[in-house]
């Protein structure tokens, strides 16, 4: 269970963006940093990216995804970042209260002085590109297939057609080939590659997997399981070219047709989204329009390399730490003003101790019961007197005041609360 209900920096998601934000926040001075991850382990999608190509920018090394993640996981743990695994954030309020749920920890609320959104992105689906046909088993997004193969150790298909030349699609073409499946072809509706060229060379070319530009899927056949797809060539405006149709028998269609930033929580929190990126509008510290809510990585816009996501995460983590520490300093400067002996209430109810450094603070109050003799009005911190004044009487019908002066600052600074008493003389 959690040690606290309020954290300096809370990070939603533990992919490259979230882990980098956690590390950076700690290094920038945030004391209590919490990462919330909905999966069983830290690392996000990096854990299923068992191919290499990670770390070339930051470490000048060519690492597989899990090794790249491990560097940040180790660093987070070393720095004392707290984590909640297998835990989902259901809602974020604009005031940075999080409603959180998990099997292990139950349902609870967490308050964040600063929040980093690092939920990543999701894959575009069959429905979004509206491929006609039946709705059998065997149509998967490339990332879902990747999870089945690399995490669950199960093959989602034997004879595969891949639509889209996104990176995950090309990487899965190679991965499935390694595992003994036959990848019939990769289709791309555009006249150019949507992923990295190195993936085309290393994943398709090296394995003789054909890539057809300006081609798409026209129809999915099969009632229970995919039995075939009908492919077609398209012109520059994506119109089907009649006569170019081909039926490709297969049991699986993988889709690698784009990623969309995952911003459902952001919207609830009042974060404004840029229609061009699908992610929040951010400033250079990756702060969104909602003060104290930061965002980094694929949740902001879709990156091609995890290294860039890490770098964006650093910025957000630093920004969030700075915001949180300023807020914390202000919280700590505020102390309650309590109603003591024969005092009904005092206004203001809290004061910022720092204000006393250069200005007076007048405390206004009413007494509970009338005293027609002289009284002593005293302000104290529970032990020591800070200020006092006398009055000829005290009546509930008449408001009283006592003023704290800059000369009281030294005493008030040490106090965790101050109390106003009205005592008989």
| Least distance CB 180 / other proteins (angstroms) | 7
| Least distance CB 112 / other proteins (angstroms) | 16
What is the C-alpha to C-alpha distance for residues 372 and 353, in angstroms, rounded to an integer?
A: 34
Beta-carbon contacts of 97 under 8 Å, excluding residues fewer than 6 positions away, are 109, 110, 111, 112
| Least distance CB 269 / other proteins (angstroms) | 14
What is the C-alpha to C-alpha distance for residues 175 and 390, in angstroms, rounded to an integer?
A: 85
- Judged by beta carbon, residue 267 or residue 407, the one nearer other proteins is 267
What is the C-alpha to C-alpha distance for residues 400 and 364, in angstroms, rounded to an integer?
A: 6
CB atoms within 10 A of CB 338: 15
- Judged by beta carbon, residue 16 or residue 261, the one nearer other proteins is 261
- Judged by beta carbon, residue 179 or residue 304, the one nearer other proteins is 179
Angle between helices 65-79 and 306-333 (to 10 degrees): 20
- Judged by beta carbon, residue 234 or residue 346, the one nearer other proteins is 234
Asked if 231 and 203 count as a contact pair (C-beta separation under 8 A), the reply is: no
Asked if 311 and 20 count as a contact pair (C-beta separation under 8 A), the reply is: yes
- Judged by beta carbon, residue 76 or residue 298, the one nearer other proteins is 298
What is the C-alpha to C-alpha distance for residues 342 and 230, in angstroms, rounded to an integer?
A: 86
- Judged by beta carbon, residue 130 or residue 416, the one nearer other proteins is 130
SS3 359: coil
CA distances from 245 to 190, 215, 229, 287, 360 (A): 17, 10, 10, 49, 84
| Least distance CB 311 / other proteins (angstroms) | 26
| Least distance CB 99 / other proteins (angstroms) | 5
| Least distance CB 118 / other proteins (angstroms) | 15
What is the C-alpha to C-alpha distance for residues 18 and 23, in angstroms, rounded to an integer?
A: 9
- Judged by beta carbon, residue 15 or residue 317, the one nearer other proteins is 15
- Judged by beta carbon, residue 104 or residue 197, the one nearer other proteins is 104
| Least distance CB 213 / other proteins (angstroms) | 21
| Least distance CB 94 / other proteins (angstroms) | 15
Q: What is the DSSP string of 116-147?
A: EE---EEE--HHHHT--B---BTEEEHHHHHH
- Judged by beta carbon, residue 157 or residue 195, the one nearer other proteins is 157
Asked if 423 and 401 count as a contact pair (C-beta separation under 8 A), the reply is: no
What is the C-alpha to C-alpha distance for residues 85 and 37, in angstroms, rounded to an integer?
A: 5
What is the C-alpha to C-alpha distance for residues 148 and 161, in angstroms, rounded to an integer?
A: 17
| Least distance CB 14 / other proteins (angstroms) | 15
Q: Answer whether the bond into residue 348 is a cis peptide, omega within 30°.
A: yes
Strand 97-102 vs strand 87-92: parallel, antiparallel, or unpaired?
antiparallel
- Judged by beta carbon, residue 153 or residue 191, the one nearer other proteins is 153
Question: Can you say whether residue 24 is alpha, beta or left, with left for phi > 0 and alpha for psi between -120 and 50 degrees?
Answer: alpha
| Least distance CB 54 / other proteins (angstroms) | 22
| Least distance CB 176 / other proteins (angstroms) | 10
List phi, psi (to 5°) of 32.
Answer: -105, 110
SS3 57: coil
- Judged by beta carbon, residue 219 or residue 409, the one nearer other proteins is 219
* Residue tagged 């520059």 (tokens): 236
Interface residue list for other proteins (CB under 8 A):
38, 86, 88, 90-91, 99, 101-108, 122-123, 125-128, 130, 132-137, 140-141, 143-144, 147-149, 151-158, 178-180, 218-220, 223-225, 251, 264, 267
């Amino acid at each position: 269970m959690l040690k606290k209900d309020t954290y300096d920096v809370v990070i939603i998601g533990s992919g490259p963006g979230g882990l980098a934000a956690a590390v950076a926040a700690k290094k920038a001075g945030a004391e209590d940093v919490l990462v919330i991850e909905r999966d069983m382990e830290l690392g996000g999608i990096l854990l299923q990216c068992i191919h290499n190509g990670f770390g070339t920018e930051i470490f000048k090394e060519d690492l597989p995804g899990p090794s790249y993640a491990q560097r940040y996981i180790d660093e987070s743990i070393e720095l004392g970042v707290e984590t909640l695994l297998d835990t989902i954030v259901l809602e974020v309020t604009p005031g940075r209260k999080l409603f959180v749920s998990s099997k292990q920890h139950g349902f609870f609320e967490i308050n964040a002085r600063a929040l980093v959104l690092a939920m990543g992105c999701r894959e575009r689906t069959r429905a979004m590109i509206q491929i006609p046909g039946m709705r059998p088993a065997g149509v998967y997004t490339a990332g879902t297939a990747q999870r089945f193969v690399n995490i669950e150790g199960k093959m989602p298909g034997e004879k595969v057609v891949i639509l889209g030349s996104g990176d995950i699609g090309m990487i899965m073409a190679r991965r499935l080939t390694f595992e003994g499946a036959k990848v019939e072809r990769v289709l791309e509706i555009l006249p150019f590659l949507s992923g990295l060229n190195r993936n085309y060379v290393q994943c398709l070319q090296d394995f003789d997997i054909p890539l057809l530009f300006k081609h798409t899927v026209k129809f999915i056949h099969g009632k229970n399981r995919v039995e075939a797809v009908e492919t077609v060539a398209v012109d520059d405006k994506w119109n089907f070219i009649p006569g170019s149709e081909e039926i490709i028998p297969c049991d699986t269609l993988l889709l690698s047709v784009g990623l969309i930033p995952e911003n459902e929580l952001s919207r609830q929190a009042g974060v404004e989204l840029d229609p061009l990126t699908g992610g929040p509008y951010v400033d250079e510290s990756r702060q969104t329009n909602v003060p104290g809510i930061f965002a980094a990585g694929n949740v902001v816009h879709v990156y091609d390399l995890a290294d860039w996501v890490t770098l964006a995460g650093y910025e957000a983590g630093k920004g969030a730490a700075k915001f949180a520490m300023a807020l914390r300093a202000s919280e700590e400067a505020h102390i309650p003003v309590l109603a003591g002996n024969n005092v009904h209430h005092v206004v203001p109810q809290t004061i910022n101790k720092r204000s006393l450094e250069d200005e007076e603070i007048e405390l206004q109050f009413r007494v509970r019961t009338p005293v027609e003799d002289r009284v002593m009005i005293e302000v104290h911190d529970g032990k020591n007197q800070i200020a006092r004044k006398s009055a000829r009487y005290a009546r509930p019908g008449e408001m009283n005041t006592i003023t704290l002066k800059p000369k009281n600052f030294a005493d008030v600074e040490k106090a965790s609360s101050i109390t106003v008493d009205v005592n008989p003389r």
